[in-house]
Amino acid sequence: MAKIMIQGTASSVGKSILVAALCRIFKQDGYSVCPYKSQNMSLNSYITLDGKEMGRAQVLQAYAAGLEPQVYMNPILLKPTTDKKCQVIVKGKVHCNSSAVEYHNMKLEFRDMLKKDFQDLEKKFDIIVMEGAGSPAEINLRDRDIVNMGMAELVDAPVLLVGDIDKGGVFASLAGTMLLLSDDEKARMKGTIINKFRGDVNILKPGLDMIEKIIQISCLGVVPYFKLALEDEDGAVEFNRKINNKIDIAVIKLPHISNFTDLDALKIEEDVSLRFITSNEEFKNPDMLIIPGSKNTIEDLMYLRNSGLEDTIKNYAGTGIVLGICGGYQMLGNMIKDPYGVETSLGEIEAMKLLDVNTAFEKEKTTTRVEAEFKESSRVYGYEIHMGVSTYGEGTQPLFEIISKNGEKVSYYDGAVNDKGNIMGTYIHGIFDGAAFREYIVNKLRRKKGLEERNSKIYENLREKELDKLADIVRQSIDIENIYKIMRLK
């Protein structure tokens, strides 16, 4: 069994997408390959077929490897709830809520679990492509590290160091990272990759020669800057703020926004402009407004109220189309109750009263994969991740009927829609990934604007084509044969 680890000089240098590229390249070359990130910090999560929660970055990497996403690819997920606290999810289930200091002190408790589980993975796959987090040069965290050099040492993995040249200072960041590593860690570093390069590589070559002499490590390639219809790393996401197509869909960029990957599939609609807004000045007059998921629904509702956006949303809801997803759905209701202090010390808070539903937070988190039916027996699929349970009043109808939960046949309602049909909410994440609901919503907007209706593309097919394009770009840019030698495969 072979392994390789991708670490970066900083967050958002492209580690996740390069791991996905290597997974697809190795798969194309006939190997069974698995992505792995021991610890991920992200508010973008996903529910596996067996109802467990993991980071979205490893989901894309799993697809690149031709695998169904499983939590062994991301055994520890940290979901920040405030600047100093997070929810700790271990092997897909909530382990605890912890302060930063508390989690730092408990990390070593996971080392034996990570080592054993990784050794089990080694028996199942030809290659494991590992991903670090942030930078290995975070010297204040080194003694308890379980995701960068600490993890590489735990399983004896060779490491490649990635630097982002697009932001400038790539040579200094490579040299500075190496300077802060121990001699053993430097010996583990087998090569560098320059990412997000724009221009002529020949102009870059003198710098590559110099940095190789300085850090005594070979550069294995320069990957060009590219744009593909694939999910970005959390910190690398560009929240578009411009209207550049005929249909304008505005999304409230909440302070604790989560699962904004729910909206990625809308970007493949050629006449749709998806923009993120944070103020009344940016609101304008969109064709549709989406209030996305939140890791702290009550605080984000208070943000909307204090900023004046809540009043703007209420005025817009008189004639506009509004969709709330998960936390956004809860905000559209009458009341949100938090009797156990799941999110805040507030016992309850009045919501926007745009949908006749009431929500109460419970102690246990709901994590399920679901399939549902809506108008004309069309199907929608996705997953639920929430602590709240919502109940209907008289002025609201269910939006979906859930017909499958974690692979078992069921029958219950999800979401809500008002009598006019212009205010909707749902707990289902990923509802736009399937073509049916996306086509239904976007054609509704097209009809309202007098535009011709269109058939929506199948997102999964596009994703596969984009992953192959990604593999082609990276294969042509790096010394893949040398990487095989580093892994002792060729």
**Percent with pLDDT over 70 in the chain:** 98
Q: In the prediction, which pLDDT does 81 show?
A: 83
Catalytic residue (one of 23, 34, 86, 429): 429
Q: Which of the listed CATH numbers 3.40.50.300, 3.30.310.50, 3.40.50.280, 3.30.830.10 matches domain 2-230?
A: 3.40.50.300
pLDDT at position 355: 97
pTM of the model: 0.92
pLDDT at 477: 98
- Which residues make up the CATH 3.40.50.880 domain(s) of the chain? 239-459
Kindly give, in sequence order, each residue whose CB lies less than 8 Å from that of residue 267, ignoring residues fewer than 6 positions away: 229, 274
Amino acid code (one letter) for 484: Y
What pLDDT digit, counting tens, does each position of 437-484 carry?
999 999 999 999 999 999 999 898 999 999 999 999 999 999 999 999
> What pLDDT sits at residue 347?
84
Q: Start-end ranges of CATH 3.40.50.300 in the chain?
A: 2-230
**What tens digit of pLDDT does each residue of 308-362 get?**
999 999 999 999 999 999 999 999 999 999 998 888 878 899 999 999 999 999 9
pLDDT reading at 16 higher than 60 = yes
Model pLDDT for residues 357-370, shown as the tens digit of each residue = 999 999 889 999 99
Catalytic pick among 23, 86, 219, 326 = 326
- Residue 237 pLDDT > 70, yes or no? no
Per CATH, the homologous superfamily of domain 239-459 is Class I glutamine amidotransferase (GATase) domain (3.40.50.880)
Look up 429 and say whether it is catalytic. yes
Q: In whole angstroms, how large is the CA radius of gyration of the chain?
A: 23
